[in-house]
Structure 1
Amino acid sequence: MDDWNLTHHTENGLLDRVRNHGIPMAEAEAMTIEFLREHCIGGISPLCGNTIGQDRRFLRRYMPELHDFFHYRSVDVTSIKQLVDRWYPDLPRATKPAGHRALDDIRGSIAELEHYREHIFRD
Structure 2
Amino acid sequence: MTTFLMIQAIGAGATMSESDAPVAAMLHGMIGQTIIPILVLALIVVALFAHAGLKWALWLAAAVAVQIAIGILAFDAPWVGLLHAANAFTVLALAEVGAYAVAHAPAYVPHAKASMRPAT
Bigger relative contact order (CA 8 A; separation at least 6): 2
Which of 1 and 2 has greater Rg? 2
State TM-score, norm by structure 2: 0.37
- Tell me the TM-score normalised to structure 1 length: 0.36
Structure with greater helix percent: 2
